[in-house]
Amino acid sequence: MTSREDCLARDGADSLAPLRERFTLNADEIYLDGNSLGPVSRSVASRVKEVIENQWARGLVRSWGPWMDRPLSVGERIAPLIGARPGEVLVADTLTILLAKLIGAALAQRPHRHVVITDALNFHSDLYIVEAMAKLAGRPISVKAIDRNTLADELDDDVALVMLTHVDFRSGEMLDLAGVTAQVHEAGALMLWDFAHSTGAVPLDVEGALVDFAAGCGYKYLNGGPGSPAFLYVRSAWQEFLNNPLPGWLGHARPFDFEPTFDAAPGIRKFMTSSPSIIALAALDGALDVFDDVSMNDVRRKSLALTDLFLDLVDTRLPGVFEVVTPREHARRGSQVALAHPEAYGIVQALIARGVVGDFRAPDVARFGFTPLYLRFVDVYDAVEVLVDVLASGAHQDPKFAVRNPVT
């Protein structure tokens, strides 16, 4: 069985280990919740301070000159993380709003088709917004929330759009980006991916996979902070034809001409709507500094090693206690591990009380995110030790852990 000394040795040989020093982490905690909110990095603090104390405080309204292009410049920094070309990524709004824009734009490109397919296990906000946009499409649209494993049986010449999440938020299962996209295209439909639990965690290649559209958030593995703006991707070949269904003045070709009718800006800029949150963009811009110095292939290798270690330790130390929901095959695993247990909520709360921070997802999943930029192998070992102690002591059955918090 792997020992704590073995883990310390692996940390000593880890090429990504120095990146941990770039983050502000609590010394008495093991943070396994980067898939809900990444920790703050030192670059974030310095970038936000620069915007507040110099650009805003001294430049005042004059600073809007360089600020106007910030959604584009930050998008250019995210583009390599998803395998996009220059000019294909824009940072603006929240993930749900960006999905709304892409759904509306995509449906307009398949006017004679009347079905949208999504995953019945998709994140609930994705399900809400696709239903809402279908009702606003201007023609009858049916939304089919299916078992994603039956996609091939559901595809026909009436399907306009398929919207799936690349890494399942509960289970951590990762779908075949290129394979699913090709399958959808063969049916003549368009493909929209949600990269919320993918970007910054696994290598992505939207160019190679011929992805039409995608969107992802900035506050999880990208560590952009609470309420961080999201990003959208539109393949270059589509940009001339797509219209933003939520047009606004900053997506206008000449925003300061204040024209009463909308004339879309060229390229990805047309998907801007209203004034961007400059301070939030600065935070995300600072958070992306760490990715300038790493290869996503190296991040992926360590991610798989960390999750393998966690699974091996849980199997060895707690045999039969949990159902491992996350696929064990590397090609189907994101950067998290989900363990199902009838008392999962209490287990997670007891772990947090002892300094191991994960989260709970209804109905019965204890979810742990493994972020290679700052997580150590010894952290994984120690986290499982605490998990073993919680189960052995029955700490999770304390009545105080039966009361559900507003945020789980």
Is residue 128 domain-shared with residue 243, that is, in the same domain? yes
Q: Are residues 161 and 237 in the same domain?
A: yes
Give a yes or no: residue 163 inside a domain.
Answer: yes
* Proportion of the chain above pLDDT 70, given as a percent: 100
Whether 204 and 107 map to the same domain: the answer is: yes
Give the active site residues: 123, 194, 219-220, 367
Q: Are 75 and 89 in contact (CB under 8 A)?
A: yes
Task: Please give the structure tokens belonging to residue 210.
Answer: 């011929």
Domain count, the chain: 2
β-strand 142-146 against 115-119: which pairing, if any?
A: parallel
Q: Which domain holds residue 319?
A: 4-16+295-402
Q: Is 91 within 8 Å of 74 (Cβ atoms)?
A: yes
**Domain identity same for 182 and 225:** yes
Q: Are residues 236 and 87 in the same domain?
A: yes
Identify whether residues 332 and 219 lie together within a single domain. Answer: no
Give the pLDDT confidence of 123-150 residue by residue, as tens digits. 999 999 999 999 999 999 999 999 999 9
CATH code of the domain in which 228 resides: 3.40.640.10
User: What does the mean pLDDT of the chain come to?
Assistant: 96
- pTM of the complete model: 0.95
d(CA 293, CA 224): 17
**Is residue 171 a contact partner of residue 335, using CB atoms and an 8 Å limit?**
no
Are residues 311 and 275 part of one domain? no
pLDDT band at 293, cuts 50/70/90? confident
Does 28 reside within a domain? no
Average pLDDT (348-374) is 96
Q: Does 357 lie in the same domain as 275? A: no
Q: So what's the pLDDT on residue 265? A: 95
CB 357 within 8 A of CB 32: yes
Whether 358 maps to a domain, the answer reads yes
Q: What is the mean pLDDT of residues 366-393?
A: 97
DSSP 61: G
Query: Are residues 101 and 242 located together in one domain of the fold?
Result: yes
Phi (first) and psi of residue 127, to 5 degrees: -65, -40
Q: What is the pLDDT of residues 12-70, one digit of tens each?
A: 999 999 999 999 999 999 999 999 999 999 999 999 999 999 999 999 999 999 999 99
Q: Concatenate the DSSP letters of all residues of 216-244 into one string.
A: E-SSSTT---TT---EEEE-HHHHTT---
Are both 267 and 252 inside the same structural domain?
yes
Angle at 363 between CA 358 and CA 367, to 5 degrees: 20
